[in-house]
A and B are shown apart, each in its own frame.
Chain A
Amino acid sequence: MTGQHQAREGKSTMTVTNPTGRRDAGLAAASAWGQTPGGAGPAGSPKAVRLRKRRKSNFEGGRGYVSEKDWRTPRVRFTMRTLHTVLLALLLVVGVGPMLLLAKFAITPTQDIIRTPLAIFPHGVALSNISIAWNEVQIRLYFMNTIWLAIGSWFVQMVVATTGGYVLSVLRPAWGKIVNGLVIATLFVPSVVLLVPLYLTVLNPPVIGTSLINNFLAVWLPAGASAFNVVLMTRFFDGLPREVFEAAKVDGASSFRLFWSVVLPMSKPILGVVSVFALITSWKDFLWPMLVLKDPTKQPLSVRLPAIASQTDLGVFLAALAISTLIPVIFFIAFQRLFLSGAGLGGAVKG
C-alpha cells in the first residue's frame, strides 16, 4: 500500500506516495489540513508546549470507553485482559516475528535456511554471513550511499521548505499568492505523471547542460519539490506570533536575520517532524533512485538489494537485508515518541 498517514491532534489525513518515492501529499495536506478543526496550528512556543503534552497523552493517557467502574467488574476485567493479551501476542508474532526470523537467518548457514528454515541453528551459526555481506557484497558501500542520499535529500528539502514557508507566510510578497497556489496545485497531481518527464529533465537538465544520471543531485534536487513540506512549514509559520516579527523589524533585523535568528529557532518542533519525514522517505525510496542511479557503486540499499538477490548466497543476502533493517529500527526505538506522534501528526511514510 502506498499510503502515508498523517493524523494531527486527533483528526487525520493520509497522503499518497508517488512512484518516484517523493512525498506527494496528494490532496491531503492541502485540503484536509485547512479544514481540520483545531488542526494545523502548532504554533509558537505556547503551542509547542501543548504539542509536547499531547504527545504524552496521545499514547498513555485517556481512560477511553472502558470506565473505572467497568474495570472493577470481574467479567469485564477478565474479557479485556484476555483480549489485550491475545492482541499483544498477535502483535509480537506479526510485528516482531518476521524480524526475529530475519535476524536468525542472518546468522544461519545457507543450507540450513533452505532445508529447515524454522529449525533453531541445527548446525550452528554462521556469523560469516554478516561479514561477507558487509565486505564482499559491499553492503557497507550501499549503506553509505543510502546515508548520503538521505542527508542530501533532507538538506534540500529543509532549504526549500523553510525558505518557501518563510516567503509565503512571513514576507508575504504580492506574488506570493500565485506561488502558493502553484505549490498547492502540485499536491493534486499524482506523481506518476512526473515519472517520464522528470526522468527526461534529469537526463538533460536546464543550465547545467550535462546529464545528472548517476549523480546524487538527481535524487537530492527533485526531493526538494515536496509541496507537502512547504505547506506544513507555511502553516506552522502562520501560527507564529507576528508581533515578534514586527518587533524584530523595528529593531532593524534584516529579512535574513529574522529568518535565521527568530523564525527558525521558534520552529524546532516542525523542523523535527519534517526532518523525520525527509529521512524516512529517502531511506525507503526505490523507483526513482533505480531510474537515475544506474551505476552500482552509486546505488542505495533499496536499489541494490533486489539487483543482487539472484546472484548472492541466500544466507549472505538475508544478512544484507537484516543490516538494512537495523538502522531504521534502532532509529525508531530510540525516537519512538517522535515517530509515533509523527505518524499521528504528519504521516508515516510508506513508499
Chain B
Amino acid sequence: MKYSRTRMAIAIAGALALTSTLVACGDDKKDSAADANAAVTLNVVGLLPGAKPEAQKALADEVADFQKENPKITVKTKDYEWKATTFAADLAGGTLPTVFEIPFTDAKTLIANGQIADMQSSLSTLSYAGNFNKNLLQYGQGPDGHTYAIPAKSVYAIGLHYNRDLFTSAGLDPNKPPTTWDEVRSAAKAIATKNPGVAGFAQMAKDATGGWQLTVDTYARGGRLEDGKKATLTNDATKASLQFLKDMRWTDNSMGANFDYDWTGINQAFAAGKVGMYTSGQDVYTSLVQTNNINPKQYGLTMIPLTGSDAGVLGGGTMAAVAKTATANEKAAAVKWIDYHYLRKYTNQDAAKKNAEIQVASKQPVGTPELPIFSQQQYQTYQDWIKSYVNVPLDQMTSFTTKVFDAKLVNEPAIATQDVYKSLDTVVQAVLTDKNADIDKLLTDANAKAQRAIDSAG
C-alpha cells in the first residue's frame, strides 16, 4: 500500500517535472523523503567472484574515496556474477545487494513484476540525467515512463576475440584477423591443426549463453529470432549459423573437446590459451584481466563478420537496479553510488581521471572499449580525458574500434529472452555433440519451446 502511495506521489512529481524529492513525497516522510544526514549502510555489487587481489584493492580504493565524499554512507561490496540460472533465486531470496546489476533484457519484466524500485526521482538529482542515450534508457523504463533501472556499464556490441599468439603459431597474421565467416573457419582449422588440444574456435553453450551467442551469429547473418510475439527461430540465418558450427565441429574438427562452456568457463579457457577465437561482449577484456590474468600481448579483438543486408551486431549491456525493499535513504545513497561508481567518470573530467588513477595504481584495465551510455561525442571526450592512463592494448583492438560505430546494432530478443536462449542452448549443444544432428528438426522443436515461453510471458 505504501508503495503505491509513494509511487503515485512520485508520478505527480514527475508530471510536474519537479526534481525535488521533498515536494513529491508529501506525507510519507519515512518512506520517501531521504534524510541527507542519516547514516546509511549500502550493500552494492562488487567484482566477479574470484577476482584477483589487485582488482579487489582498486574497488576498495574506490569505496574509500566515495565514503570520504559521503561520510554518512558506508558501502559494503559483495562479489557477484549475474547468471540466468541463479538470479531468480537471489532475487526471491532477498540476498541481492541493495544495488545490483541486471542485463538490459530483463529490466522490463522486473519492472512489470514490481521487483525493482522506481528510481525516477532519485535519478533526476543527477545533472546528466537527461543526457542518456534514449535507446539504452528505454530498457529501464516502465509503462509509467519512469526510470527504474539505469544503464550503468558494459554496454557492448559483440566482438570476435582472438589469441594473437595462436594466430602466429598457425602462420596467420595477427594484425589481419578474419573478416568473413569463411576466413574464421579456415583460421580455426589452421590453429587447431597446428596446436593439438586447442580449439580454433569455441562457442558458449550452457546456461542460456549458447542461445545468446547463436543469436549473435543469427543477427550477423541478417536473421532475427522474434517477430513481435512470434518466435522465428527457424529462419535461414540461424540455420546457416548452425551449419557453420557443424562444419567446423565435424568436418574440420577445429572446435576442441569442450562443449559446455559458459561465460566464465570460456573466458578462462581463452586466457589459458586453449581457445583461438570466440565471440563475446567487446568489454570482456576487463574481466579477462581481473579474473583470468590474461597476458595482454596475446589478446586481439575484431568485428564479428557481417553478411546480408539486414546483418547487425547484437548489443546489450548492464543496468544498475535497486532493490524494491530499499528505504528512501538507501535509494538516495544508491543513486550517489551509481553516479560515483558507474557514470560520473563519463561526464566529468576530474572524476574520469581520478577513477583511472585508482585503476592504474592497482594495474586494472583502463580504456577497454565500450559503447557510449550517453552520446557518442561524450564518449569521445571521455576517451580523451583518460588517454594518458589507458593501459589496455588498444592498438590490438583497432579493427574493432574503428568499425563498430558504423555497424548496425540490434537489440536482444525482447520477450522471454532468457527462455528463448535456453531453448537454443539445446540446439547448439546438439550440433556440437551429435554428428548427425538434424538442424531443421532441432530448430522446429526449439521454436515451439520458445513460442511457449513467449506466450506464457504474456
Contacts and interface: CB of A to CB of B under 8 A. Distances in A.
Direct A/B contact, Cβ within 8 angstroms: yes
Interface of A: 136, 203, 211, 213-214, 291-292, 294-296, 307-308, 310-312
Contacts of B79: 296
A311 B264 contact: yes
B265 A310 contact: yes
Nearest to A136: B53
Interface of B: 48-50, 53, 78-79, 89-90, 92-95, 262, 264-265, 268, 291-292
Given A296-B79, A308-B49, A308-B50, A211 B93 contact: yes
A307 B90 contact: no
Contacts of A292: 93
Given A307-B49, A308-B49, A203 B265 contact: no
A291 B88 CA distance: 11
B94 A203 contact: yes
Contacts of A213: 93-95
Nearest to B92: A203
Contact of A311 (B50, B93, B94): B50
Given A294-B90, A296-B49, A296-B79, A310 B268 contact: yes
Nearest to B48: A311
B94 A211 contact: yes
A136 B49 CA distance: 13
Given A296-B49, A307-B49, A311-B268, 11 more contacts: A203-B93, A211-B94, A213-B95, A214-B95, A291-B89, A291-B93, A294-B93, A310-B268, A311-B48, A311-B292, A312-B50
Nearest to B94: A211
A311 B92 CA distance: 26
B95 A311 contact: no
Nearest to B265: A310
Contacts of A294: 89-90, 93, 95
A46 to B, nearest CB: 52
Contacts of B53: 136
In the A-B complex, the 6 residue pairs with the closest CB atoms: A311-B50, A294-B95, A213-B93, A310-B264, A310-B265, A213-B95
A294 B87 CA distance: 11
Contacts of B78: 295
A214 B95 CA distance: 8
Contacts of B95: 213-214, 294-295
A137 to B, nearest CB: 9
Contacts of A312: 50
Nearest to B96: A294
A49 B268 CA distance: 58
Contacts of A296: 49, 79
Nearest to B266: A310
A215 to B, nearest CB: 11
A308 B51 CA distance: 11
B268 to A, nearest CB: 6
Given A296-B49, A296-B79, A310 B262 contact: yes
Contacts of A291: 89, 93
Contacts of A136: 53
A93 B93 CA distance: 44
Contacts of B92: 203
Contacts of A214: 95
Contacts of A203: 92-94
28 contacts: A136-B53, A203-B92, A203-B93, A203-B94, A211-B93, A211-B94, A213-B94, A214-B95, A291-B89, A291-B93, A292-B93, A294-B89, A294-B93, A296-B49, A296-B79, A307-B49, A308-B49, A308-B50, A310-B264, A310-B265, A310-B268, A311-B48, A311-B50, A311-B264, A311-B268, A311-B291, A311-B292, A312-B50
A295 B95 CA distance: 8
A190 B218 CA distance: 44
Contacts of A310: 262, 264-265, 268
Interface centre among B95, B262, B291, B292 (most CB of A within 10 A): B95
